[in-house]
Amino acid sequence: MSETGDEGTDVYADRRKQAATRLREANANGLVCVPSRNLQYLTGFDEEPGERHFLLAIPAAPDPDAENGPVMLVPALYETRVREETSVEDVRTWADGDDPVAAVRRLLADVGLREGRLLVDDTMWATFTQDLRTAAPDATWGLASEALAELRVRKDDAELAAMRAAADAADATVTDLRELGAGAVGMTERELATWIGDRLSAHGGDGVSFETIVGAGPNGAKPHHGRGDREIAAGEPVVLDFGTRVDGYPSDQTRTLVFDGEPPEEYERVHAVVREAQAAAVDAVEPGATAESIDRAARDVIEGAGYGDAFVHRTGHGVGLDVHEEPYVVAGNDRELEPGMVFSVEPGVYLDGRFGCRIEDLIVVTTEGCERLNRTDRGWR
Ligand code: ZN
Ligand code: ZN
User: Measured in angstroms, how far is the CA atom of residue 200 from the centroid of ligand 2?
Assistant: 17
User: Measured in angstroms, how far is the CA atom of residue 345 from the centroid of ligand 2?
Assistant: 8
380 within some domain: no
**Domain of 225, in residue numbers:** 157-372
Tell me: pLDDT of 45 over 80. Answer: yes
Which three-class secondary structure state does DSSP give residue 345? strand
Q: What is the dihedral of CA 100, 106, 111, 112, to 10 degrees?
A: 120
Pair 329, 316: CB distance under 8 Å? yes
- Looking at 120, 151, 182, the residue that finishes a domain is 151
**pLDDT tens-digit map of 108-167:** 999 999 999 999 999 999 999 999 999 999 999 999 999 999 999 999 999 999 999 999
Angstrom distance (rounded) from CA 23 to CA 300: 40
Per-residue confidence band for 69, with pLDDT thresholds at 50, 70 and 90:
confident
User: Measured in angstroms, how far is the CA atom of residue 210 from the centroid of ligand 2?
Assistant: 10
Tell me: pLDDT of 183 over 50. Answer: yes
- Looking at 151, 186, 208, the residue that finishes a domain is 151
Angstrom distance (rounded) from CA 24 to CA 28: 6
188 within some domain: yes
Tell me: pLDDT of 267 over 90. Answer: yes
User: Measured in angstroms, how far is the CA atom of residue 323 from the centroid of ligand 1?
Assistant: 9
User: Measured in angstroms, how far is the CA atom of residue 252 from the centroid of ligand 2?
Assistant: 5
User: Measured in angstroms, how far is the CA atom of residue 223 from the centroid of ligand 1?
Assistant: 10
Alpha helix (H) ranges present in the chain?
Answer: 11-25, 37-43, 79-85, 100-110, 126-135, 145-152, 157-180, 189-202, 265-283, 291-304
113 within some domain: yes
250 and 224 within one domain: yes
User: Measured in angstroms, how far is the CA atom of residue 42 from the centroid of ligand 2?
Assistant: 24
279 and 131 within one domain: no
Q: Which DSSP letter does residue 50 get?
A: -
Residues 6+ apart with CB under 8 A from 74: 54, 55, 82, 91, 92, 93, 94
CATH classification at residue 38: 3.40.350.10
Angstrom distance (rounded) from CA 3 to CA 201: 23
**pLDDT tens-digit map of 215-234:** 999 999 998 899 999 999 99
381 within some domain: no
| Terminal-to-terminal C-alpha distance of the chain | 36
Q: Which DSSP letter does residue 77 get?
A: G
379 within some domain: no
359 and 220 within one domain: yes
CATH classification at residue 326: 3.90.230.10
Angstrom distance (rounded) from CA 91 to CA 162: 29
60 and 170 within one domain: no
216 and 354 within one domain: yes
341 and 301 within one domain: yes
Kindly calculate the radius of gyration of the chain based on its CA atoms and give it in whole angstroms.
Answer: 23
User: Measured in angstroms, how far is the CA atom of residue 135 from the centroid of ligand 2?
Assistant: 39
User: Measured in angstroms, how far is the CA atom of residue 317 from the centroid of ligand 2?
Assistant: 6
- Report the predicted TM-score, pTM, of the whole model to 2 decimal places: 0.91
Alpha helix (H) ranges present in 182-242?
Answer: 189-202
- Looking at 151, 182, 205, the residue that finishes a domain is 151
Mean pLDDT value across residues 274-278: 98
User: Measured in angstroms, how far is the CA atom of residue 263 from the centroid of ligand 2?
Assistant: 25
What's the total number of domains in the chain?
2
318 and 228 within one domain: yes
Please state, rounded to an integer, the average pLDDT across all residues of the chain: 94
User: Measured in angstroms, how far is the CA atom of residue 54 from the centroid of ligand 1?
Assistant: 31
User: Measured in angstroms, how far is the CA atom of residue 360 from the centroid of ligand 2?
Assistant: 7
Q: Which long-range contacts (CB under 8 A, 24 or more apart) does 109-112 make?
A: 110/67, 110/71, 111/30, 111/57, 111/59, 111/68, 111/71, 112/29, 112/30, 112/59, 112/68
Q: Whose CA is closest to 53, among 108, 141, 143, 131? A: 131
259 and 111 within one domain: no
Question: Ramachandran region of residue 357, left (φ > 0), alpha (ψ -120 to 50) or beta?
Answer: beta
84 within some domain: yes
User: Measured in angstroms, how far is the CA atom of residue 246 from the centroid of ligand 1?
Assistant: 16
Ligand nearest to the backbone CA of 244 = 1
43 within some domain: yes
Q: Whose CA is closest to 163, among 368, 372, 314, 378? A: 372
Return the pLDDT at 8. Answer: 57
Ligand nearest to the backbone CA of 328 = 2
273 and 221 within one domain: yes
207 and 131 within one domain: no
176 and 144 within one domain: no
221 and 95 within one domain: no
Tell me: pLDDT of 94 over 70. Answer: yes
Tell me: pLDDT of 249 over 60. Answer: yes
**pLDDT tens-digit map of 346-377:** 999 999 999 999 999 999 999 999 999 999 99
164 within some domain: yes
